[in-house]
A = this chain, B = another copy of it.
Amino acid sequence: MATGRTHRPATRSRGIPEATVARLPLYLRALTALSERSVPTVSSEELAAAAGVNSAKLRKDFSYLGSYGTRGVGYDVEYLVYQISRELGLTQDWPVVIVGIGNLGAALANYGGFASRGFRVAALIDADPSMAGKPVAGIPVQHTDELEKIIQDDGVSIGVIATPAGAAQQVCDRLVAAGVTSILNFAPTVLNVPEGVDVRKVDLSIELQILAFHEQRKAGEEAVADAGVVPPAARKQQPSTDQGPDGDVPAVMPA
């Protein structure tokens, strides 16, 4: 997982569970691929495989949207694409502002996955005056001063923060004050937002750290003669030979 979200009570979650919502885009992607191949229908089993999930889970997910399948046959691809798109709100146009046009911001601006799903980059914003006017992905970068005006004029409700950590909260505050109610945060900071504003975060460093944890466990496992579940195959992994005063894998404790 690369994401986390500010805890929304899920109180009046009229219907669709959060976990299901998070998978809908996955199904949508798989369905779109099928659609492009002109496949008319698909079974839960096939679609589940394509999306990388369990088929029972997929069927239950779809059951929250309604009964769109036909027993004995499966699901109509086109119809399902439409239903999921609608449920996710992708039949609308969502203008998005990206704040912080460094390497990452530029990469995001160029990312094709945005436009292809109903998202439109309304503006690129950076605090550096020398960036102003410079085109990135065909869109001229604008200065931070324009932030509020752009948001209000274009009716932007989704903002992407790709600034350094130090600037993130400030940018966030301005976005929210100007009317943005959903934020995708790439800066490695915890954002404080008022209730009613959704924040999702993506932190590359965190993802790697989680991988490192599992990697370490995998490596340590064999060393300790584990008659484990999985024959983890030939591990290359040179001898760790790293620091660690008392370096040891176990979680045990001194003191």
How big is chain A's contact interface, by range?
35 or more
A130 close to B (CB within 8 Å): no
* Other-chain residue from B88, B211, B216, B244 in contact with A200 (beta carbon distance below 8 A): B211
Query: Measured between alpha carbons, how far is A110 from B14 in the docked complex, in Å?
Result: 42
In the complex the two chains form, is A154's CB within 8 Å of B255's CB?
yes
Starting from the known contacts A9-B229, A87-B213, A156-B252, 15 additional A-B residue pairs (CB-CB under 8 Å) come to A1-B1, A2-B201, A25-B203, A25-B209, A66-B253, A92-B237, A93-B242, A94-B208, A106-B107, A151-B236, A154-B255, A155-B254, A157-B235, A183-B211, A200-B211
Can you report 24 A-B residue pairs in the complex whose CB atoms are below 8 A from each other? A2-B3, A2-B201, A8-B214, A14-B217, A14-B229, A21-B210, A25-B209, A50-B190, A67-B255, A86-B247, A89-B215, A90-B212, A92-B216, A103-B106, A106-B107, A113-B203, A113-B204, A114-B208, A152-B252, A179-B237, A179-B250, A184-B204, A200-B210, A202-B202
